[in-house]
Amino acid sequence: MFVPDGVKVLFLDDDETRHDLFVQMMGDRLEVVQTRGFFETVKVLKEHKFHTVFLDHDLGDHRRPDRIAGMYGKGPELTGEDVARYIFNNPETHPTQCVVHSHNPDGAKNIASWMRKVCPVEVAPFGMIFTNIGGRND
């Protein structure tokens, strides 16, 4: 999936190494907004419009049982799938396209099923996204 130069993208992942690598590889050609958990991502989605969203499924230690009671009928861990469901339910947050970069195959499939309802989706484990999203035409 080609991502044009200069567009604003959202990169959701709980792994700092992935954040660093993504910005190192793509930060000079994309406007990257980074998030690490559900609540931070929802806040950013309310404030910005994104061309492309890059979503991970498992969000590590971003568990906030005190703020999640009753939300989506789930337990204490919110995932990238919950972000995808939020995007689906809030049309003003719909991106032009989505890249699911999770290494969790079931989680990636679930995110993709929500996001395909609103935009084109590519599923590519993190290590593959740099070859799949295109580069400059220099």
* pTM, two decimal places: 0.85
Residue 3 lies in a domain: no
Mean pLDDT along residues 51-76: 66
Domain with 95 in it:
8-124
Residue 37 lies in a domain: yes
Residue 110 lies in a domain: yes
Residue 14 lies in a domain: yes
Non-local (6+) Cβ contacts of 125 within 8 A are 101, 102, 103
Residue 95 lies in a domain: yes
Per-residue pLDDT tens digits for 83-101: 999 999 999 999 999 999 9
Non-local (6+) Cβ contacts of 48 within 8 A are 8, 10, 33
Residue 29 lies in a domain: yes
Q: How many domains does the chain have?
A: 1
Mean pLDDT along residues 109-125: 96
Per-residue pLDDT tens digits for 24-56: 999 899 999 999 999 999 999 999 999 999 999
Regarding beta strands 31-35 and 121-123, do their DSSP bridges make them parallel or antiparallel, or are they unpaired? unpaired
**Which CATH number do you get for residue 91?**
3.40.50.2300
Residue 138 lies in a domain: no
Residue 57 lies in a domain: yes
How many degrees, rounded to 5, is the angle at CA 78 between CA 120 and CA 13?
60
